[in-house]
Amino acid sequence: MPPQAVDAVGRRLKASYDRMLREPIPDKLIQLLENLERSQANKTHSDDELTHSDDELQPDTHDRPVQREE
Amino acid sequence: MTASGDLKSRLVEAMPNLRAFAISLCGNADKADDLVQETLVKAWNKLDTFEDGTNLKAWLFTILRNTYFSQYRKRRRELADTDGEYSSRLSVQPQQQGHVDLQDVSIALNELPDDQREALLLVAAEGFSYEQAAEISECAVGTIKSRVSRARVRLAELMQIDSGDDFATERYGSGVLVSGDPVTRG
């Protein structure tokens, strides 16, 4: 494959990618960040009320230690 | 972390890049947004493991690609029709439209193996160094280099960019996307 063709691919890829970078960020993503921030603020304000808000933020639970009863 | 406002603005800043990377990896904007959401939540929940002064974008990209490779790629394979759908779009597109536009880069991109697509996106689209890309992908620098170079060649083949075609970006109006049988027009 000649280098010119490979360069052309790189340019097209970059152009396509840069176009995506200019797209507006979906509202739901901004919203999510705001929710995360808000729940963190709540957490900071009430230290002894440990983390029911954490549950909402944790989509997967597999890396949480599981306590087994014997 | 006291400066969550500052951090938020840095996350917002990185969001277009995370999203473009996710869309290019998944080949699907809806799935990509789910992937970005999951990445943000994970990142937020382990912010304390982020070392201040290191590259936040690279850190986020690492979380995103790990999530993609551990979960999304599997789902993608489970959607048995996905590959067929892309192939059929690939072969139909040139006849239908008679030209190749930038959109076709992403269609051709989806024909690449995951690891090559990832490496090419990190280096050629996102502008990470080979070293940074290697760290993000958790592999050797040489591996990244060879993936990127194979990806470039494969993409050029898929998009049938000819030798000596210096003006491919200007000339794509007459191009044909798929290598193989030339498209005959009546």
Please compute the mean of the pLDDT values over residues B90-94 and round it to a whole number: 45
| Residue-averaged pLDDT of chain B | 77
In this structure, of A65-69, B93-97, B102-106, the range with the lowest mean pLDDT score is B93-97
CA B130 to mean position of chain CA atoms: 16
HSE, side-chain direction, 13 A CA sphere, residue B36: 31
DSSP assignment string, B91-104? HHHHHHHSS--THH
Q: How far apart are CA A10 and CA B134, in angstroms?
A: 19
Instruction: Choose the most confident range, by mean pLDDT, from B44-48, B99-103, B121-125, B175-179.
Output: B121-125
Residue pairs spanning A and B at CB distance below 8 A: 114
pLDDT-derived band at A68 (thresholds 50, 70, 90) equals low
What pLDDT digit, counting tens, does each position of B140-157 carry? Answer: 999 999 999 999 999 988
Tell me the domain boundaries of chain A: 14-42
Q: Output helix, strand, coil percentages for chain A, rounded to the nearest 5.
A: 65, 0, 35
Give the A window 8-67 contacts with B, CB below 8 Å: 8-17, 19-23, 25-26, 28-30, 32-33, 36-37, 40-41, 54, 57-59
Could you give the angle at which helices A27-45 and B4-26 cross, rounded to 10 degrees?
Answer: 140
Question: Which pLDDT score is estimated for B102?
Answer: 38
Q: Could you tell me if B63 and B45 are in contact, meaning their C-beta atoms sit under 8 angstroms apart?
A: no
Please compute the mean of the pLDDT values over residues B117-143 and round it to a whole number: 97
Question: Which pLDDT score is estimated for B73?
Answer: 76
| Residue from the list B15, B33, B157 with its beta carbon closest to the beta carbon of A1 | B157
Chain B residues with beta carbon closer than 8 angstroms to that of A33: 8, 11-12, 40
Closest CA of chain B from A1, distance in Å: 6
Question: Which pLDDT score is estimated for A7?
Answer: 84
φ, ψ of residue B82 to 5 degrees: the values are -50, -50
Is the pLDDT at B133 greater than 60, yes or no?
yes
Q: Where in chain B is the domain with CATH 1.10.1740.10?
A: 1-79
Question: Which pLDDT score is estimated for A47?
Answer: 52
Question: Which pLDDT score is estimated for B22?
Answer: 96
Instruction: Kindly state whether B115 is in contact with chain A, defined as any CB-CB distance less than 8 angstroms.
Output: no
pLDDT-derived band at B28 (thresholds 50, 70, 90) equals confident
B81-180 topology per CATH: Arc Repressor Mutant, subunit A (1.10.10)
Closest CA of chain B from A52, distance in Å: 14
What pLDDT digit, counting tens, does each position of A9-56 carry? Answer: 889 999 999 999 999 999 999 999 889 888 877 776 655 444 444 444
CATH architecture of B1-79: Orthogonal Bundle (1.10)
Q: How far apart are CA B84 and CA B88, in angstroms?
A: 6
Query: Which two structure tokens, joined as six digits, stand for B177?
Result: 């996307």
